[in-house]
Structure 1
């Protein structure tokens, strides 16, 4: 009985606190009307609002007040997910239609500079900031400073707060009301009309283009089925270039070839999974979260390094890219194929760009119509506008040098820029490597050394932290990205290491020396033990730097300079061991045939998954609860969603390009293949059915 009484008392106290806050809010609105801080139209609407709350049977004012943020639970857990009731607010209007609602979201600041007159409001905000400061001390964050160049400033913005008011009040009026109550920054408002904005000319043009491509897909598929059903010869291969029937069948074919580096299929797939789960976690923790304190505690734990070190997956792709580039080049030259540098470049560009260009087009013109929510106003700013203005830097693969981080179109596609730039300079290495192997190897070794020294110097001069997840570093995340992470000259070491491994593997394969590299059991066990130990060190090293602002410049610079090359060397050993028959169960696992099929979709998955994550994050209408189980659940959901979306994307923007390119440039006679073709990053998309093309497809991966 006493427990029931206690629950009743606690419920009463919470209700009383909420009522006290609401009364303070209403009193502040009345004071604002009396003081004339708002426009005449807003003043009249607010007067009706207050009167309706007090006397009318029409519930529109109560619905607005009910949709406004209240004192949230879990302040001690750093609850940043209080955003009111977005849909309820915008769905509210008076019976006669004269009053409609406006949803506004702002950020509560410390009340020291606020002129707010609502006692309950001021007391709440003061208490909230006290609890937040206490939470920061508990979880080990240093005191806040107002340094805009600090990553820690990201966590010093106040508490999100929503208010639902009549739309007669302008955004300036709402800002005045907010400041009267709390002291705020960044107030943004949405009305019911914003839920269904009119189509722009760009959106209409994009829909027409996509509809035309869908028409081609349907017609080409119908013709293909007709010709096959009636056993008639196709007049020209171009008629079935867009056939989902033929292209779809080839997407799911599994082939075998003795020269195929089958272990790369598994490495590629699981590297992609590592990237997706890393993006899932990073997107989740940047969303409005109900338990932000738990995020800091999780980031401070050793197990979070499995996510924080996901950036190494990008270096896996750089390494594999280097391996395949040299291996396929030397294989083609070994088979007598001539090197055509024009075809080498144009083939690469045509295989990568159509799918990327399609996403740029959709992002610039259609993404803003794909959802709604309190934070949806960020979509035009963070996704659409950069693609409208800087689409050309993305399609020319120069955005990692031309654009600032915030202005990059499809920022996660920075990897493609780095990869394309490395591919562009590769003939300077490939040609000497074939004709004068010692010169080529010397160039590669020089590139490795330079690519280790360069990031060390960058890190030492700029003082960037060893890990991008260090949120309390004195140098911002933006500086980490722009000085180091996105730059080709700072990220090339794994690629050069991959080039060297590709040369070694080509010599072994083509000279049939595999038997000379078979390890005995003791050497194999020791080699794998050392390799796996070093890999674990790369993943879990510097976990102490996650939440520490006091890292050593020398240690940080050394870590940044060596961790990625060391990772690439370990991965090279894994590939070498698997190719030479020393991989055992690891080679068996990485060489599953199903990876061939999955990897035909990974380029489109890479392009689509991060955009889908952003859309889902900004369409949230309430805060989310962070834990590893929820994040893992989201990871599998977005992975399945991305693979499903990639099927039509591949059939529309990848597979047909292979056919059209062969029509334009002519297909090489078998068994000869052009070097440009065997180095294609998009081979294996369903049209090229030769086994090596499955092996040789290399995809970019963002982080």
Structure 2
């Protein structure tokens, strides 16, 4: 049967106008199959059957529109042994097809489908793509059928009218529907925001041209004012301890941006995995090589964000408690929600309404299923920051689980940080216990559900993500390390912590060793014989790596703040990171939907090499930053001014998400402990 399908598609229909006029084409492949249909088996009852008969009749009469429809089909791909399992045909030629077939059949429109042909017995029974659920290879061929038919209906017609048809599966894209009321409302919303921003900008320009001071409430949405703040850089020289300790943690911007770039880099490879590949057979060896370590171990980049979140949250709350002795929790939570939600809500609105209408392609429907469909159903759990528990398998915006975890930890932060302020170092034991508890949760869940870290492992139900990747209780470890680092830095904010050289050298050596161990420690778990390794190896690695990574990055921050960073601090504290750091929240929000959309519009298979992937990544990051700038200006920057109107003045609570605008910490008095003062005396302040 498989041989029959190969013969069917190996001889494509090649038709040109000149050949058509010179002599009737010798039909073969799918054209010959359709011409062999026994029309006596059809009842002509449904529109699908009538249009199907019109196609068959058109092919027999050599009508050009029917040949155009058949020519849109994919032919049998070359290089299936190299993993070239997709032949997409011509998507646009198919969907652009229109033909008036008369009163009974109506207007025939092309519908793009995929015909899946199993290759059982032809190729080795080993999976070559991560995350797949079976060990049987299959070729997927583009097909074009009348829009009145579904894939199942079309195959039923073929099975009724063609003898000895091999078993195949056909799935079809939906026919695009016109814009409705929800889409019109979304367009009106975005248009209103843009018009307000333009009006505010124009008002400021006119006022300044007339040498008048514009009213600050009328320039909340001004692109000029907000753009200056967003792109501003401040050069600080904190290289010499005698200059006084900085009131800012300057290295955080560099860490934040590098972590953000790492996330986009890794998700670029996920996007490549979603696309058809000319050489998908190389994916397995690539995963087992050292080339893949930055992608395979990239999940710890999120733990850098959790570390920063815990650090800034602890710093901010301790500062408020030192100043006022109490917390205004409703105001603090409202501030936090207002800072995070507008940009997220705008993206959810776009995803639920307009994203489906923003493109088309062979994989567009499947890409939209990952975002648009879920956002229509679960927009509320996204905006309430509970989707990591409520609907973890059907996330609206697959990367927004992080925001749910971060918000939940922020809500719980006062329960931990207030006792830390009240009773001091004794509460650090509680933090340590909670950190260990989070690690134990990961360990136990990995063992209980037989979870594996290998990308080659089957995880149809996404159990690893549902039980150990998305939940707050399994991700809290890195955040708690951040709370500890934030406590140490806040309590020593007026003074440098002096360390002997051996302690500094030991700290940097351990931090470097931990980072390298985490990057390369996952490599043995990605080999083809991963199943022969004890399950405990995966469980222990996953339980330790998040907290260990946070500890290593925490040391880097501590060392940079206290003058032990050297060239690392110069690099991470460079002024260039400041505007990118402010943009990183919008970059984080936008990058994955953009990558999904680009995967959905792909018309051709991608030839995978690391060089091609890197080239595509720089296109991703450049395009995302370009869109993140107006997104931040429209949906992030104005919130600060709106808060001033709502609450009367700016609040000093830190939004510790990626791209927080408040990386400038409350200035400290410029006291410097003499170098002769002992380390014991300094750390006693903790």
TM-score range, shorter chain: 0.7 to 0.9
1:394 deviates by 0.4
Find 1:252's aligned residue among 218, 231, 243: 231
Equivalent residues in 2 for 1:220-235, closer than 5 Å: 220-234=200-214
Q: Is 1:87 aligned to residue 74 of structure 2?
A: no
Following TM superposition, by how much is the alpha carbon of 1:92 offset from its aligned partner in structure 2, in angstroms?
3.2
1:316–1:568 contact (8 Å) kept in structure 2: yes
Check whether the contact 2:478–2:547 (CA below 8 A) recurs between aligned residues: yes
Distance in 1, Cα, partners of 2:139 & 2:332: 54
What residue in structure 1 maps to residue 317 of structure 2? Answer: 329
- Return the offset for 1:626: 1.6
- Higher mean alpha-carbon deviation, 85-94 vs 419-428, is at 85-94
- Residue in 2 that maps onto 1:104: 112
CA separation in 2, counterparts of 1:479 and 1:133? 28
Tell me the equivalent position of 2:684: none
Which residue of the partner structure matches residue 116 of structure 1?
A: none
Q: Do structure 1's residue 622 and structure 2's residue 604 form an aligned pair? A: yes
Partner SS state of residue 133, structure 1 = coil
Q: Work out the CA distance in 2 between the residues paired with 1:623 and 1:679.
A: 41
Q: Is the 8 A contact 1:339 1:675 kept in 2?
A: no
2:467 aligned with 1:483: yes
What's the CA shift for 1:18? 4.4
Any idea what SS the aligned residue of 1:100 has? strand
Please state how far the C-alpha of 1:498 moved relative to its aligned partner: 1.1
CA distance in 2: counterparts of 1:281 and 1:178, whole angstroms: 38
Matched, 1:576 2:555: no
- Partner SS for 1:102: strand
Q: Once the two structures are superposed, what CA deviation does each residue of 1:337-390 show, in whole Å capped at 9, x if it has no partner?
A: 753222211110000000000001111000011001122223553322211221
* 1:70 alignment partner in structure 2: 75
Kindly indicate whether residue 425 of structure 2 is the aligned counterpart of residue 434 of structure 1.
Answer: no
Contiguous gaps of at least 5 residues in structure 2: 1-6, 15-25, 237-245, 669-686
Q: Return 200-209 or 430-439, whichever deviates more.
A: 430-439
Q: Deviations over 1:441-476 (max 9, x none)?
A: 1221121111111111111111111x2x52234x44
Distance 1:213 1:282 in 2: 33
Q: Helix, strand or coil: the match of 2:363? A: coil
Using the alignment, how far apart are the partners of 2:34 and 2:11 within structure 1? 19
Q: Which residue of 2 aligns with 1:213?
A: 193
- The alignment partner of 2:631 has SS state of helix
What CA distance in whole angstroms lies between the structure 1 residues aligned with 2:412 and 2:565? 33
The 1-side partners of 2:72 and 2:224 are apart by: 51
Once the two structures are overlaid, the 10-residue window that deviates more, 535-544 or 411-420, is 535-544
Structure 1 Cα separation of the partners of residues 520 and 158 of structure 2: 45
Deviation track 1:511-551 (CA, whole Å, cap 9, x = no partner) reads x143x22x42x654454233212211101113222242333
In 2, Cα distance between equivalents of 1:46 and 1:315: 55
Instruction: Please report how far the alpha carbon of residue 74 of structure 1 lies from its aligned counterpart in structure 2 after TM superposition.
Output: 0.9
Aligned residues: 632
Measured after TM superposition, the shift of residue 281 of structure 1 is: 0.2
Higher mean alpha-carbon deviation, 604-613 vs 302-311, is at 302-311
Query: 1:684 touches 1:694 (CA, 8 Å); kept in 2?
Result: no
Q: Which residue of 1 aligns with 2:672?
A: none
**Distance in 2 separating the partners of 1:359 and 1:412:** 12
Q: Which residue of 2 aligns with 1:591?
A: 573
- Choose the corresponding residue for 2:400, options 402, 413, 416: 413
The equivalent position to 2:362 in structure 1, one of 355, 374, 377, is 374
Matches for 1:621-640 after TM superposition, within 5 Å: 621-640=603-622
1: distance between equivalents of 2:39 and 2:8?
A: 30
Out of 479, 494, 499, the position equivalent to 2:483 is 499
Residues 128-143 of structure 1 correspond to what in structure 2 (within 5 A)?
Answer: 128-133=119-124, 136=126
Q: Which moved more, 1:40-49 or 1:452-461?
A: 40-49
Aligned-partner SS, 2:545: helix
1 CA distance for matches of 2:53 and 2:329?
74
Q: Which has the higher helix share?
A: 1
- Is the aligned partner of 1:692 residue 2:665? yes
Q: Is the 8 A contact 2:515 2:552 kept in 1?
A: yes
Change (3 A) 1:633 1:131: farther
Asked if the contact 1:348–1:680 (Cα under 8 Å) also holds between the matched residues in 2, the reply is no
CA distance in 2: counterparts of 1:273 and 1:683, whole angstroms? 12
Mapped partners of 2:131, 2:269: distance in 1:
18
Deviations 1:83-134 (A, max 9, x none): 1111112233458786634233234243xxxxxxxxxxxxxxxxx4444336
Cα distance in 2 between the residues matched to 1:54 and 1:211: 52
1:597 and 1:559 map into 2 onto residues whose CA distance is 35
**Separation in 1, partners of 2:337, 2:223:** 23
Q: Decide which moves more: 547-556 or 70-79.
A: 547-556
Q: Which moved more, 1:167-176 or 1:581-590?
A: 167-176
User: 18-27 or 624-633: which moved more?
Assistant: 18-27
Residue aligned with 1:164, SS? strand
Q: Indicate if the aligned counterparts of 1:39 and 1:169 stay in contact, CA closer than 8 A.
A: no
Q: Deviations 1:533-583 (Å, cap 9, x if unpaired)?
A: 221110111322224233312222211211111111111111122112111
SS of residue in 1 equivalent to 2:87: coil
Query: What do you get for the CA RMSD once the two structures are aligned?
Result: 2.9
TM-score by length of 2: 0.86
Q: 1:328-407 to 2 correspondence within 5 Å?
A: 328-335=316-323, 339-405=327-393, 407=394
Q: Which residue of 2 aligns with 1:456?
A: 443
Alignment partner of 1:654 out of 632, 636, 661? 636
- In the other structure, the counterpart of 1:701 is none
* Aligned mate of 2:273, from 274, 278, 285: 285
1:33 is aligned, of 31, 38, 58, to 38
Query: Partners of 2:27 and 2:581 in 1: how far apart?
Result: 56
Q: Measure the CA separation in 1 of the matches of 2:638 and 2:658.
A: 11
CA displacement at 1:487 relative to structure 2: 0.6
- Please give the per-residue CA displacement for 1:257-289, whole angstroms capped at 9, x wherever unaligned: 721111111111000011001101011112222
The CA distance in 1 between the partners of 2:589 and 2:122, in whole Å, is 41
Alignment of 1:305-316 (within 5 A): 305-316=293-304
Shift of 1:477: 5.9
Which sections of structure 1, spanning at least 5 residues, go unmatched? 1-12, 111-127, 142-149, 669-673, 696-703
Cα gap change, 1:349 to 1:155, in 2 (>3 Å): farther
CA-CA distance at 1:298 after TM superposition: 1.0
Distance in 2 between the 1:623 and 1:445 partners?
Answer: 49
Q: Give SS of 1:165's match.
A: strand
Q: What is aligned with 1:509?
A: 493
Q: Is the 8 A contact 2:9 2:76 kept in 1?
A: no
159 and 35 in structure 1: CA distance in 2 versus 1, 3 angstrom threshold: farther
The alpha-carbon distance between structure 1 residues 37 and 375, as it changes in their structure 2 partners (threshold 3 A), is: farther
Query: Which residue is 1:162 aligned to?
Result: 142
